[in-house]
Structure 1
């Protein structure tokens, strides 16, 4: 199972919050994958 699939599964089963998925960007997933998983545009936190 890829890291993308793991993050997607965690988010869909509500084990991970939106913030947790955001924190996975550039570590486990890309910004584009964040948008695919959540349906929201990725905005980098300052």
Structure 2
């Protein structure tokens, strides 16, 4: 399981909120496009 899959799973299971997923973008774990795919929200820097 890669980082994108982990973050998506954590978000879908309610373990991570949108801010936590945004932190994964900042850390370089996922891309801005992957953030949008996971959360349905446009990443706003």
Please indicate the TM-score interval, normalised by the length of the shorter structure: over 0.9
Q: Which residue of 1 is the match for residue 10 of structure 2?
A: 10
- The structure 1 segments of at least 4 consecutive aligned residues displaced by more than 3 Å after TM superposition are none
Cα-Cα RMSD: 0.8
Normalising by structure 1, what TM-score?
0.90
The TM-score normalised by the length of structure 2 is 0.92
1:19 aligned partner: 19
Matched residues in 1 for 2:40 and 2:18: separation?
A: 10
Q: Compare the two structures and name the one with the higher helix fraction.
A: 2
Structure 2: tracts of 5 or more residues without a match:
none
Deviation at 1:19, TM superposition (A): 0.2
Give the unaligned 5+ runs of structure 1.
none
